[in-house]
A and B are shown apart, each in its own frame.
Chain A
């Protein structure tokens, strides 16, 4: 199975900060990567698919990049509603796998 690692596992940031989260795959997955946001007590929400495509309705401050094994989710200017846990997910091969998550909280 393809393993995904995320770094950092948690971070503290302020409103307006630029935030970058990294996801690394244990083998190449082309661009078959998605990013999700999950708030406490809520279902995950799709932000980015195919590594860099912004899901409809998601604010443009969210962006994704990368291919192969290294991927990045960037929030250009952190907003109060962005404090949440972020997960990457690969869909290159079965079993589909998720990264362990990155928790973004308020500094």
Chain B
């Protein structure tokens, strides 16, 4: 069974750093792109970027380029989303989702989401 299990909810202060994770299982982790999607409170879905764990090829949305870093550790089948300096406006639910072998694809499996709250 394909599963994406994300790390737990986080409460941080502005200016702090954060790295959240997404662990894949039940499939060949290195053969499928993994994307990250933001959902701000009461709002829609925003595509942030995507990574191919096989070779760490990464693409970012222009809206998020320079604001976050996407990485992966294929040895433990885990993708990451990290911030070096959080802002209150980063408060949101963050989902990871599995693409397919092609960089441009839909997402067939989703993690349960990680709620990030940034507040002083």
Residues of chain A at the chain B interface (Cβ within 8 Å): 1, 32, 34, 36, 38, 43-46, 49-50, 55, 87, 89, 91-101
With A95-B47, A98-B44 known to touch, is A43 a contact of B111 (CB < 8 Å)?
Answer: yes
- Closest CB-CB distance, A1 to chain B, in whole Å? 7
Q: Which of B13-21, B58-66, B67-75, B84-92 contacts A (4 or more CB under 8 A)?
A: B58-66
CB neighbours (8 Å) of A87 from chain B are 44-45
Report the Cα distance A49→B106, complex, angstroms: 7
- Asked whether B44 lies within 8 Å of A1 as measured between CB atoms, the reply is no
Q: Is the CB of B105 within 8 A of A43?
A: no
Is A43 touching B61 in the complex (CB atoms < 8 A)? no
List of A residues within 8 angstroms of B59 by Cβ: 94
- Is B80 part of the binding interface, using a Cβ–Cβ cutoff of 8 Å? no
Report if B76 contacts A (CB, 8 A): no
A-B contact list, 30 entries, CB within 8 Å = A36-B45, A36-B107, A38-B45, A43-B110, A43-B111, A43-B112, A43-B113, A44-B110, A45-B110, A46-B108, A49-B108, A50-B106, A87-B44, A89-B45, A89-B47, A89-B106, A93-B104, A94-B61, A95-B47, A95-B60, A95-B61, A95-B62, A96-B35, A96-B50, A96-B61, A97-B47, A98-B44, A98-B46, A100-B44, A101-B44
How close is B42's CB to chain A, nearest CB, in angstroms? 10
In the complex, the answer to whether A96 meets B104 with C-beta atoms within 8 Å is: yes
B71 to chain A, nearest CB (A): 19
